[in-house]
Structure 1
């Protein structure tokens, strides 16, 4: 079926290439008549393709992978790669579909039908977190060696940014990549690395000079089978159980300097650009689970009786669910606005940060409120609400904590206090 899906998606890309006006929803009035106004029938076709894969090859095994604490990344990614899912907005010359980012957003939303948060996150690392800078700025050689096989699902990628003492504060990272005889000698370590135990290569952010912290970093394609790379441990997490998360150390790891993505010293800037897609992806992947959770909670509360009436008949319950549904629709509208501006080439750092902030907080609020209405059953591992309660707590932390999102928004509003000058 995967090959059939790949042909469907390839045909979709070809049709859209022949009709450029349909690739940008802002220039297509008909799309505003749709239920979800940034999407067309072509987006629906892509989502239907992905849904078949999820129903057949992913959801039947999620409980097993959650119990084992890991999913078979190479197998799952190869299935998705055969269908074109891992390169929706990547260049066609490297195996992508060449579509605009609204299609990646649609893909991220559909990934929300997976019965956990871990796999959408792991897939998003491959498609929208570790590869955007490579696709945009990397050399042809690096794209052929790392991007093309990541799109096809033959290689698993991870992103090496966070460290033990440097999470959301990217500028403070300590890992170094020092030039020597045409190579880079890498020392340091990375933390919270999604896909880290299974990855074939890492998009690594490291200091390549002694300059200013925003100008001394480079993104590097780092093969994970090199001497000096140690997977120190697999981190035991509260949620996202089926996604492997590693702590990794580097000791005198040697890689050619030609593995730097784009211009040396531009890594911080490139990573900030990658964060735009990461935060959009994370928001989009949360929408369907939140909708699903509200519906499941309404159904459960309708059937559950207490003190002679349905739990749902209590005003606090049905009013709360109505408020949550309203908040989800508000988030969806802000997300679609961000995507619309992004595919038109605008800087959406502030909007993407607002989306990420809202998604994290709304996910915490929704899962907490809904779990409460499930009562004792919500405190078991037998229902989706408890899994999403654990999984979605990460959204306010990973990819930039809420407080960092607020700082970014304040910066764009020009209300962030200026650092005090040292006397």
Structure 2
């Protein structure tokens, strides 16, 4: 697969340590992912053995402290490298599960549990023995999190959890689920808390594995909670702070989705460049046709401009200055760009692009959800618009 010089060198964004990690991830993907990935897609589930392999090879738990078996590295550029290498082989379903655990759920387990819980949970999260999920969305409440109906009521030394969640990534495999629930209906935004529900707790049931348009290997599920009795210590952080905890971690969540979108768009473009300069039509390479060159010029420009914004956002996340609005801009632009680029790349493959045996066809199918989950593009615009309007308030 070819890359453009500017993308290849990335203008010094990655250090030698990142590139050494890239070599390790690339070898892992070649050995442990490529030979099995299509089978996982057919079976509609990534096996737990693939999670254990990721843990054993340092793909999981990069930010987990070394004392708990992780890499002890909080630099967000390392997850970016992993996302790029997974995207290069079209392993969307697998990558999504890993990134959900490491980029989106892990920060809750790093910051909020007790020290005893950190000792109990973090080693397994780093090794892949523990798979995690976060349950926010409900059948009747998606982006409007304050409209959720799942509730938790204190009963002595326990909390009693009732409700249902849907579209939960890693929902079938998950051993620990961070659940967003209402704990005080009269407290407004302070009436929500986070809880950790553990596999096999009585009253916790998994519904069907959802049949999605794309990313078939990713286990997305419905979850049900019927009088689940949670020990008081399974309250994650402080009571009433659940919505605040979510808001604090949204920048990294949305940047993670933007990174995956960028990686996916870059991979689609690379496959397309290779294809059009190998394919012959009208006595010449397809890539030598002016219409094709113009199309490639548009696509490469979109991708490289998007990368510049994501790189700046990643550095801002590293130093703690990335705002919710900035992360929302990254998520909005990059996911919409991925859909545009992948669709136009597929067109250049002609009929072969519409075949699932070609990675571009699978990428086209898989990328569509990017503008929906993690906050739709419309919600991103609302967040950005409110930030703009807020600058003009007295």
Alignment match, 1:218? 193
Structure 2 SS opposite 1:219: strand
Structure 2 SS opposite 1:206: strand
Say if 2:144 is the partner of 1:156: no
- Write out aligned runs for 1:352-371 (5 A): 352-371=327-346
- Write out aligned runs for 1:44-59 (5 A): 44-59=19-34
Say if 2:307 is the partner of 1:318: no
Whether the 8 Å CA contact 2:178–2:195 is kept in 1: the answer is: yes
Q: Distance in 1 between matches of 2:351 and 2:369?
A: 23
Structure 2, gaps ≥5 residues long: 1-8
Q: Provide closer, same or farther for how the CA distance between residues 320 and 187 of structure 1 changes in structure 2, counting only shifts above 3 A.
A: same
2:60 alignment partner, one of 86, 94, 114: 86
Structure 2 SS opposite 1:189: strand
1:109 alignment partner, one of 66, 84, 92: 84
Q: Distance in 2 between matches of 1:127 and 1:339?
A: 15
- Write out aligned runs for 1:246-265 (5 A): 246-265=221-240
- Write out aligned runs for 1:16-415 (5 A): 35-72=10-47, 74-99=48-73, 100-414=75-389
Q: Distance in 2 between matches of 1:332 and 1:266?
A: 34
Aligned length: 385
Question: Relative to structure 2, which stretch is displaced further, 111-120 or 400-409?
Answer: 111-120
Q: TM-score, normalised by structure 2?
A: 0.92
Structure 1, gaps ≥5 residues long: 1-33, 419-423
C-alpha offsets along residues 270-310 of structure 1, whole Å, 9 cap, x if unaligned? 11233222222222223333222212222322333444544
C-alpha offsets along residues 314-342 of structure 1, whole Å, 9 cap, x if unaligned? 33322122111111111111111111111
1:415 deviation in Å? 5.8
Structure 2 SS opposite 1:303: coil
Structure 2 SS opposite 1:60: coil
Q: Give the root-mean-square deviation of aligned CA atoms.
A: 2.0
Q: Distance in 2 between matches of 1:211 and 1:384?
A: 50
Q: Distance in 2 between matches of 1:265 and 1:367?
A: 42
Q: Distance in 1 between matches of 2:324 and 2:343?
A: 29
Q: TM-score, normalised by structure 1?
A: 0.86
C-alpha offsets along residues 199-226 of structure 1, whole Å, 9 cap, x if unaligned? 1110111112223442111121110211
Structure 1 SS opposite 2:312: helix
